[in-house]
Chain A
Amino acid sequence: MAQVKISQVRKAYGSLEVLHGVDIDIPDGSFSILVGPSGCGKSTLLRMIAGLEVITSGDIIIGDKVVNDLSSPKRDIAMVFQNYALYPHLTVAQNMGFSLKVARVPKAIIAEKVKDAAEMLGLTDYLNRRPQKLSGGQRQRVAMGRAIVRDPSVFLFDEPLSNLDAKMRGQMRTELRAMHRRLGSTMIYVTHDQIEAMTMADQIIVMNDGYAQQVGAPLELYDRPANLFVAGFIGAPAMNFLSAKAAGGQVHLADGTRVQIQIADDFEGDVIVGIRPEHLVLDANGPLEITVDEIEPTGSETHISATTQQGVPIKMVTSERVTADSGETLTIGYEVKKLHLFDAKSTNRISISEQ
């Protein structure tokens, strides 16, 4: 077990910098998830922790050792790849025991460790099969088993569930969490799926454009996104953004209606009001008028796609049953307590107080 500290880490390919000085603390025994759109640098960062990519500058510290110049095997890590990367010519047992064989561990001990891991993962009946005779979920388990037998300080996962179907993915999420509880090791997990991140993580690191945008617990990111990117990325459907102007501690939407919030008196300029779809409410006296484009009932709730009078697309989720034709106008309001406010220029969060 070990904590992982990433300090001012940069990665450049020639003159193209893809990671611009990332600082992250990953506590010992935590399940931390790197999440972001493709190309944000999350996989590169994970591969740098694994020692598969060279660090251009900065430090990666595992436990209390700077591992920048250590080769992968000396970093005491194990990695599970998106495509599993099982050795096709070896059986499940040989795949799982490969690292121990390389390390010249006695055969009896390898067999025992492989057996334990196989029991934990429900693979006991498949130990003598080759990977191509296994289903996707079983291959995934073998890949995890290969990591488990090494008993590493840190587990690294690179989008391990993205090749599985939805049902299997849900099941593996639960199993991964259970595995984390049982082993108590530090786990770093990369995904582009924010739902996966929200449901599994102790700590989420949202990445975009080579920067760590925000680090925090899932609900903290949902409740208090640090900037527009995080606000738009976390939560589904995504947060609605309405442009507004701030002056004298007050905020007015583009149509001139005042938003019932109070901000610092000295802030002046363009701002963006963020409202999550689930925090919009049907309210005949509400301040917003929207034109319905599409209504999608899911049974438990109703998703409404609409357009504001300023022509801004807006999404709303309500537990009420709504029947309206497209083109009809609805009057809605919002839960003032759950509004978010961002500086339009810097895109950073502005703290607000309710009036």
Chain B
Amino acid sequence: MNDTFRPGTHHPVKHIGRYTLMCALAFLALAPLLWMFLSSLRPTQEMFSYAGSFSWHTIWPETFTLSNYTGLLETGFPRAIGNSLFVAGVTMVIGVLVNAAAAFAFATFQFRFRGPLFLLVLLTAMMPFEAIVLPLYMLVNKLGMIDSYSVLIVPELANGFVILMFRQFFAAIPRELYEAGRIDGASWLRIFFFIALPVSWPVILTGSIMIFITQFEAFFWPLVAAPSAELTVAQVEIAKNISLEGANWGLLFSSMSIVCVIAALPFLVFQRFYIRNVASSGIK
């Protein structure tokens, strides 16, 4: 009965070899992060003193200190984290609604130019952001939005990839479900909110995480469009630790550690759904 083949099960040596290789790769990927995190816990002067000859203390701190973290409190970092969380959070909530609504229209309604319009949506997903920064800047400048929260949020609401993901999901829902809703007297808005959205929570979750992380990682656009100090976001604030005179490595590492943890948390909690949906969206 034991003739189902599972890779590695019959060859213990290969099995061990495979896992050794995977562990090594995982270590390679994680080592810089680990080093960054550990370094954020040591005094700045100790950071590079063991770099010349490799020893245990190249990685493991000799003295542990939280000064790099307490030092952050005197900078604009707390406010920047707040800004980033606010911008990413608002974009996430409104963005999911806007993108889902657009996707619902693409999936259920027949209208003129539906095909070409959807193609445009896909193109926005493929366009590198840097390519549209200039025209976008001129546009928001004309609208008087420069240097405000709205300039950080509004241009990021519509997300071609999230629309595509929602559309694929809505199109796969049997049409009869919407028709049953119609016959039961529900308006399209109600069908969207009370039938389509409740059954698509895995996509909502995935889309939310994608939008949140994209916004939380944003650097270039906030740097260009919202220069004033009270609007500075986390990534821009982190970059302030690097200047021509040299870098403040301690603050750099502590602030990056915090940002990494915040960005990774939602992904770690919901990764099961996230991976499943990116995998089943027919793109990757």
Which A residues are within 8 Å of any B CB, using their own CB?
50-52, 71-73, 77-79, 81-83, 85-89, 98-99, 102-103, 146, 150
Selected interface stretch from B28-36, B69-77, B175-183, B248-256: B175-183
> How far, in angstroms, from A82 to B179 measured CA to CA in the complex?
12
The 6 closest A-B pairs by CB, nearest first: A73-B185, A99-B184, A85-B176, A85-B180, A81-B176, A89-B198
B190 lies within 8 A of A102 (CB): yes
* B186 at the A interface (CB under 8 A): yes
Query: Min CB distance, B104 to chain A, in Å?
Result: 16
A87 lies within 8 A of B177 (CB): yes
Query: Min CB distance, A14 to chain B, in Å?
Result: 12
> How far, in angstroms, from A24 to B171 measured CA to CA in the complex?
35
Residues of B within 8 A of A98 (CB): 181, 184, 186
- Choose among A52, A72, A83, A99 the residue that contacts B174 (Cβ–Cβ < 8 A): A83
In chain B between 181 and 207, which residues have their CB closer than 8 angstroms to a CB of chain A? 181-186, 190, 195, 198-199
B183 lies within 8 A of A83 (CB): no
Total number of B residues with any Cβ neighbor in A under 8 Å: 15
Residues of B within 8 A of A87 (CB): 177, 180-181, 195, 199
Residues of B within 8 A of A79 (CB): 179-180, 183
Q: How many A-B residue pairs have CB under 8 A?
A: 56
Instruction: Name the CB-closest residue of A to B180.
Output: A85
> How far, in angstroms, from A77 to B180 measured CA to CA in the complex?
11
Residues of B within 8 A of A150 (CB): 184
B184 lies within 8 A of A85 (CB): no
> How far, in angstroms, from A82 to B175 measured CA to CA in the complex?
12
Residues of A within 8 A of B199 (CB): 87-89
The residue among A73, A77, A103 with the most chain B CB atoms within 10 A of its own CB is: A73
Instruction: Name the CB-closest residue of A to B200.
Output: A89
Query: Min CB distance, B194 to chain A, in Å?
Result: 8
Residues of A within 8 A of B185 (CB): 72-73, 99, 102-103
Residues of A within 8 A of B179 (CB): 50, 52, 72, 79, 81, 85
Instruction: Name the CB-closest residue of B to A73.
Output: B185
The residue among B176, B179, B180 with the most chain A CB atoms within 10 A of its own CB is: B180
Given A73-B185, A98-B186, A99-B185, 20 new contacts (CB under 8 A): A50-B179, A50-B183, A51-B183, A52-B182, A72-B183, A73-B183, A73-B184, A77-B183, A78-B183, A79-B183, A81-B176, A85-B176, A87-B181, A87-B195, A87-B199, A89-B199, A99-B183, A99-B184, A146-B180, A146-B184
Residues of B within 8 A of A102 (CB): 184-186, 190
Query: Min CB distance, A117 to chain B, in Å?
Result: 14
Can you list 24 A-B pairs with a CB-CB distance of less than 8 A?
A50-B179, A51-B183, A52-B183, A72-B183, A72-B185, A73-B182, A73-B184, A73-B185, A77-B183, A78-B183, A79-B180, A79-B183, A81-B179, A81-B180, A85-B174, A87-B177, A87-B180, A87-B181, A89-B199, A98-B181, A99-B183, A102-B186, A103-B185, A146-B184
